[in-house]
Amino acid sequence: MKINRILAAAFLSTAMLLASTADACTNFLFTKGATTDGSTMITYAADSHTLYGELYYRRAADYPAGTEFMLVEWDTGKPLFKIPQVAHTYSVVGNMNEHQLAIGETTYGGREECWKSPVKGIDYGSLIYVTLQRAKTAREAIKVMTELASAYGYCSEGESFSIADPNEVWVMDFIGKRQEPVKADVAKKLKYQYADGAVWVARRIPDGYVCGHANQARITQFPQEPKKWKKTKGKGLHPAISSAHIDYIYEPEVECVYAADVVTYARACGWFDGQDADFSFCDTYAPLTFSGLRGCDARVYAMFHRVASGMDRYEKYAMGDPNAERMPLWVKPDRKISVRDAMNLMRDHYEGTAMDMTNDLGAGPFNCPYRWRPMGFEVDGQSYIHERATSTQQTGFSFVAQCRGWLPSKIGGILWFGVDDTYSTVYTPMYCGITQIPECFREGNGDMLTYSETSAFWLFNRVTNFVYSRYSDMIKDLQVVQNRLEDGYIADVARFDQRAAKAKDNEIETLLNDFSNRQATKMMDEWRNLDRYLLVKYIDGNIKKEKNGKFERTANGMAVMPEQRPYRDEWNRMIVRDHGNVIREK
């Protein structure tokens, strides 16, 4: 499909930016009333060409007064600066802590004036993992995150966060306030120095609804109730006391909180001059572009399209038309979503939409729905793009975080964790109460430049990269094992929950560690077998025949002549159009 060259260039610029960082990610959010079992769930795919898939772990700990620790930028590993440690930190497994608080993110960039000039501040990754060590609930997490940014500044680009606990799910759009230099006429409008901290909005997803964000700010207009704000005398906080810095956020009827200066800062910078009620966070701090629609919001559209009827009306918007009807922040699904559904919603190549990646010639002779980077390319002076789907080859890790309030916290929280491409990963249950990470997921077991035989990341990449070579055939064999494992895990968890809930307090940790480690071991064993099976079956482009679960042999013990399936018709036609005069039979 031809697209406007200016829009294509904008898309390519953003695509190149996203490809170079560890934050070109996808999040889906599911409330209690939208799930089959009443759990809350958020999903997260951490997509980067340089991010290694491993399961982070931070042990709960107590610290004496005066203890400090070094913030380390998540994307780069660069030490930032030291901040005071709190007296007690919670145990964190991946992106979920022992209280079933889970946080995910996607980076949207936004106005360059807010982030392009580097200054001292906390990065978005540290904001997540420090908060998980300090907060118990979604509301408390919002309070901690905004206080950290106010106290120490914020050094990352615009970010959207998914925040869930067993009762609520929130989405938060967040961006730094830096403008350097601040113009003199602007400075006169400011009651204090804006060159630190962040502006943000957080909204609770209505119960029964689902939401998503994928590298594009999503919150537009939002309820504003400044009459309820009450300032506090909290020491060390920024002079601009936002609604999240007070007990207001803990009132259960409150469903939207935001920085006190989210509108006034935009006015002072000349980015907004309308009525407060018309203020849109997204349109002000991260204006829509073709790339924000086609490369980002389109992934959310694909999920909405699969769970709710009537979504076709937003396809033009998802395909890059900013004048088309805008997609809502959340939708009500036609049926309730199970944890298995959530896993499968993370497996998407725009199937069933106009952007379907499985059928065009770019999919090759075996319908492979992946396109190697760069995402933009030019032919005969015309610019084009490849789609950016939820399932993508450069995923480091992904998860479905499931929070189940009817169980004790260490048992109720499960991080269904997988590495590599979401379409071909296996989501393995890691209880949030474990204290021993399986060896295959352990931090330091290999890295992006160091192969490890015991690393799940490297094993899954071995299998997946082979599958890409003859996708339409091999993916079916992979899915047999994938489905068997994931369906088995869900059944195993249901049985184990009952046993663990009856266990004594001093037994639970051992039970959880044993269970999660056994599931990871089972996954590695099955995937090694799959690796060998696929190699034997598909070597050299042949497909060996099977009978009764075994490869067929002749009466003399030799391999039966393998099957040799042709390229698909459209691919053969392309070959003929390109080279037919040379290869035509005479």
Out of 322, 353, 385, pick the residue that ends a domain. Answer: 385
Statement: residue 234 has pLDDT above 70: no
- Look at residue 514 and tell me if it is in a domain: no
Residue 485 lies in a domain: no
pLDDT tens, position by position, 492-505: 999 999 999 999 98
For residue 70, give every residue at least 6 positions away whose Cβ sits within 8 Å of its Cβ, in sequence order, or none: 79, 80, 81, 82
Residue 217 placed within a domain: yes
**Beta strands of 220-297 (E only): which ranges?**
256-258
| Alpha-carbon span 373 to 48, nearest angstrom | 12
For residue 120, what pLDDT band results from cuts at 50, 70 and 90?
A: confident
**Position 416 in a domain:** no
Tell me the average pLDDT across 505-515: 95
pLDDT digits (tens, 9 = 90+) for 435-456: 999 999 999 999 999 999 999 9
Tell me whether residue 456 is in a domain.
no
pLDDT of residue 2: 30
Last residue of one domain, picked from the residues 369, 385, 401: 385
Interatomic CA distance for residues 488 and 482, integer angstroms: 10
Domain count, the chain: 2
Please say which residue of 352, 367, 385 terminates a domain.
385
Question: What angle is formed at CA 265 by the lines to CA 264 and CA 267, rounded to 5 degrees?
Answer: 65
Q: Looking at the domain assignment, is residue 320 inside a domain?
A: yes
| pLDDT tens-digit readout, 345-387 | 999 999 999 999 999 999 999 999 999 999 899 999 999 999 9
Note the pLDDT of residue 197: 86
User: 569 in a domain, yes or no?
Assistant: yes
Residue at 123: amino acid letter:
D
Helix H or strand E encompassing 551:
strand 550-551
Q: How confident is the model at residue 13 (pLDDT cuts 50, 70, 90)?
A: very low
Q: pTM score, two decimals? A: 0.92
Is residue 164 in some structural domain? yes
The first and second tokens of residue 326, run together, are: 């805008």
Amino acid at 307: V
Q: Select from 27, 75, 130, 124 the least CA-distant residue to 401.
A: 27
What is the domain range of residue 279? 5-385
The rounded distance, in Å, linking the Cα atoms of 512 and 412 is 11
Cα 440 from Cα 437, distance rounded (Å): 8
- 482-486: list long-range contacts, CB under 8 Å, 24+ apart: 482/424, 482/425, 482/426, 484/526, 485/426, 485/428, 485/522, 485/523, 485/526, 486/340, 486/343, 486/426, 486/427
* pLDDT at residue 7 is higher than 80: no
Q: Would you state the pLDDT for residue 247?
A: 64
In the three-class reduction of DSSP (H, G, I as helix; E, B as strand; rest coil), residue 242 is classed as: coil
